[in-house]
């Protein structure tokens, strides 16, 4: 997960808009944990499309000041947060980290962070990446001990695993080549692990993983995912889905590995919702591709609860390609010419060896722990 790492482990998970956690039957129903109040949706949740950065790092620094860009590798349990993005009166990951970093470095105000993927309320992260532009003198004074001091200051549900100067051209958001998410589902509530209830969706019907993978194969490639995204004015919904694959990772547990160059708001959780309908037999394997081709939100596609979703890893090019990648990502993407659903392959739902615009999907590996 370091700079220039080109081959991540397993690829994971889809993004899409959250269902309130108290909409579901039983203690933990099909759509999540019952009896918990729904929280507000963070702006630009789960993955924001290419566009102007919100709360851009470097904001508020004195003109002409010597600045150092710092990379943060972050993990968090999203259960107690109202998403990544800072919101007035809400506990957010961004707000918690910015305030703690300001204290550690002795700054007058929050240290503005730019992040690879702005996760929604309840979504977790093991491999989130952010950057901050800091005054060089402050970093020189406090930087060497900053990670250790943050470990003492931060609450236990968020950790900064690494805090290091970034190479030239690095942008946590725009330099990223791919994001890997995982979505975990237990399809037999009698066998569900109570200790994993905050990170696993309990689904009341048994799932056919082979059928879900047959459906997933038809959604790969560069496509307009408007049918699975919450539209935002002026934002593109064109994304390159590099990998979408389901596997059994434990007793009654199915895990989706989802990798794309980026994800628009609600994309992963809507894709997962559509594939679960295929898995439980209520929809045919070709249905998700038909919805995708229509480019219009279908009310029959459920958006699954956020707590089963985790940002596992973010991939970046080698240092020499960071600036060029950031410049290319900022260009607004247009929809590719309609070509119909991809022909399903009987063997695999892995993507081709290389994708558009020089993208290389992560190499398959063992399921994440």
All domains of the chain in start order, with CATH: 41-165 (3.30.70.580)
Look at 367 and 220; give whichever has higher pLDDT: 220
Helix (H) or strand (E) holding 75: strand 67-76
* Band (234; pLDDT cuts 50, 70, 90): confident
CA distances in angstroms from 84 to 116, 149, 346, listed in the order given: 11, 22, 39
Provide the pLDDT for residue 165. Answer: 96
What average pLDDT score do residues 329-349 get? 56
Judged against a pLDDT cut of 80, whether residue 34 lies above it is answered with no
Provide the pLDDT for residue 143. Answer: 83
What average pLDDT score do residues 103-117 get? 91
* Joined tokens for residue 301: 């596609």
Provide the pLDDT for residue 61. Answer: 67
Judged against a pLDDT cut of 60, whether residue 255 lies above it is answered with yes
Provide the pLDDT for residue 39. Answer: 35
Provide the pLDDT for residue 52. Answer: 33
Q: At what angle do helices 287-294 and 267-279 cross, to 10 degrees?
A: 150
Provide the pLDDT for residue 254. Answer: 98
Q: Which residues pair with residue 362 across a beta bridge?
A: none
Which residue in 102, 122, 126, 118 sits closest to 52, CA to CA? 118
Q: At what angle do helices 136-153 and 93-105 cross, to 10 degrees?
A: 120
Q: List, for residues 177-204, the tens digit of each pLDDT value.
A: 999 999 999 999 999 999 999 999 999 9
Q: How far apart are CA 183 and CA 8, in angstroms?
A: 17
Mean pLDDT score of the chain: 80
* Count of C-beta atoms within a 10 Å radius of residue 181: 32
Look at 32 and 131; give whichever has higher pLDDT: 131
Task: Note the pTM of the prediction, 2 decimals.
Answer: 0.79
Q: Give Cα 45 to chain centroid, integer Å.
A: 9
Provide the pLDDT for residue 29. Answer: 33
| Catalytic annotation present for 120 | yes
Q: List, for residues 119-140, the tens digit of each pLDDT value.
A: 999 999 999 999 999 999 989 9
Judged against a pLDDT cut of 90, whether residue 7 lies above it is answered with no
Rounded (10°) CA dihedral 159, 7, 199, 95: 30
Q: Please tell me the least confidently modeled range out of 59-63, 99-103, 255-259, 288-292.
A: 59-63
Q: List, for residues 146-176, the tens digit of each pLDDT value.
A: 999 999 999 999 999 999 999 999 999 999 9
Q: List, for residues 61-75, the tens digit of each pLDDT value.
A: 667 789 999 999 999
Judged against a pLDDT cut of 50, whether residue 88 lies above it is answered with yes
* Band (3; pLDDT cuts 50, 70, 90): very low
Catalytic-role residue among 77, 120, 187, 350: 120
Check if the beta carbon of residue 113 is closer than 8 Å to that of residue 57.
yes
């Amino acid at each position: 997960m370091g700079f220039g790492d080109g081959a991540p482990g397993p690829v994971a998970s889809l993004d899409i808009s959250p269902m309130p956690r108290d909409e579901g039957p039983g203690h933990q129903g099909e759509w999540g944990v019952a009896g918990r109040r729904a929280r507000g949706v963070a702006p630009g949740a789960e993955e924001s499309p290419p566009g102007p950065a919100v709360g851009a790092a470097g904001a508020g620094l004195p003109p002409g000041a010597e600045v150092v860009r710092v990379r943060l590798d972050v993990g968090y349990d999203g259960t107690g947060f109202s998403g990544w993005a800072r919101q007035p009166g809400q506990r957010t990951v961004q707000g918690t980290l910015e305030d703690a970093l300001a204290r550690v470095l002795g700054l007058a105000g929050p240290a503005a962070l730019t992040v690879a993927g702005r996760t929604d309320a309840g979504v977790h992260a093991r491999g989130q990446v952010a950057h901050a532009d800091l005054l060089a003198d402050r970093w020189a004074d406090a930087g060497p001990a900053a990670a250790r001091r943050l470990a003492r200051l931060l609450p236990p549900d968020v950790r900064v695993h690494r805090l290091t100067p970034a190479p030239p051209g690095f942008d946590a958001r725009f330099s990223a080549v791919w994001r890997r998410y995982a979505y975990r589902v237990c399809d037999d509530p009698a066998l569900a692990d109570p200790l994993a209830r905050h990170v696993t969706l309990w689904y009341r019907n048994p799932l056919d993983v082979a059928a879900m993978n047959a459906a997933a194969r038809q959604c790969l490639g560069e496509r307009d995912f408007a049918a699975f995204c919450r539209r935002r004015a002026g934002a593109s919904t064109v994304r390159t889905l590099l990998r979408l694959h389901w596997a059994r990772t434990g007793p009654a547990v199915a895990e989706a590995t989802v990798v794309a160059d980026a994800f628009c708001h609600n994309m992963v959780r809507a894709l997962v919702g559509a594939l679960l309908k295929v898995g439980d037999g209520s929809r045919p394997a070709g249905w998700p591709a038909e919805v995708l081709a229509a480019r219009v939100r279908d009310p029959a596609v459920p958006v699954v609860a956020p707590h089963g979703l985790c940002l596992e890893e973010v991939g970046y090019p080698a240092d020499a390609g960071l600036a060029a990648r950031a410049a290319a990502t900022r260009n607004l993407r247009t929809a590719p010419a309609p070509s119909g659903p991809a022909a399903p392959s009987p063997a695999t739902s892995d993507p081709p060896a290389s994708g558009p615009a020089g993208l290389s999907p992560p190499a398959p590996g063992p399921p994440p722990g």
